[in-house]
Amino acid sequence: MALQLQFRSDTMNFECFAKYANSEYNISLADFNETAIESATVLATQISNWVEENLEIVKGFAAAALLALKNDVWRVENEAPVNENEFINTIELNGLLGFSKGGFEIYFNDNDLFWGHIIKVDVDEEFNPTGASIVG
């Protein structure tokens, strides 16, 4: 699938939507010059393809990093602890923010694991997940 990036002058980002399974997610690329549409498209395509091939690995990375936090701090009274599979199956891909040097952030809806916060996974230029946190 060819991505159709558009430059938004209000954010100074390239943006597009991509599909994964039966859902759509947003890709934003920051740190690009408006004339760099070709390199931005190449990066967006690389990231999108990598995410499609590795989404379950990334979700597992997020679960490994955040599961103890969920169960130790973010459970409501009488809520059973969440296991790794439940965590992985609960979070949903929401969007990506890529940078011109190649690293990017993957955002997931938490579906109330962390009371409506967003889960962010950082990925480096070599496409290795390097950290996971809750934001927002």
Residue 20 domain flag: no
Between residues 9 and 113, the one the model is more confident about: 113
Residue 81 domain flag: yes
| pTM of the complete model beyond 0.85 | yes
- Using the predicted structure, report yes or no on whether residue 64 has a pLDDT greater than 80: yes
**Structural domain harbouring 50:** 31-135
Residue 16 domain flag: no
* Residue given tokens 């990334």 in the structure block: 58
Residue 17 domain flag: no
Residue 11 domain flag: no
pLDDT band at 23 (very low <50, low <70, confident <90, very high): confident
- Terminal Cα-to-Cα distance of the chain (whole angstroms): 31
Between residues 40 and 21, the one the model is more confident about: 40
Look at the chain and report how many structural domains it folds into.
Answer: 1
Distance separating alpha carbons of residues 126 and 11, to the nearest angstrom: 26
Distance separating alpha carbons of residues 130 and 92, to the nearest angstrom: 19
Q: Is 78 helix (H, G, I), strand (E, B) or coil?
A: coil
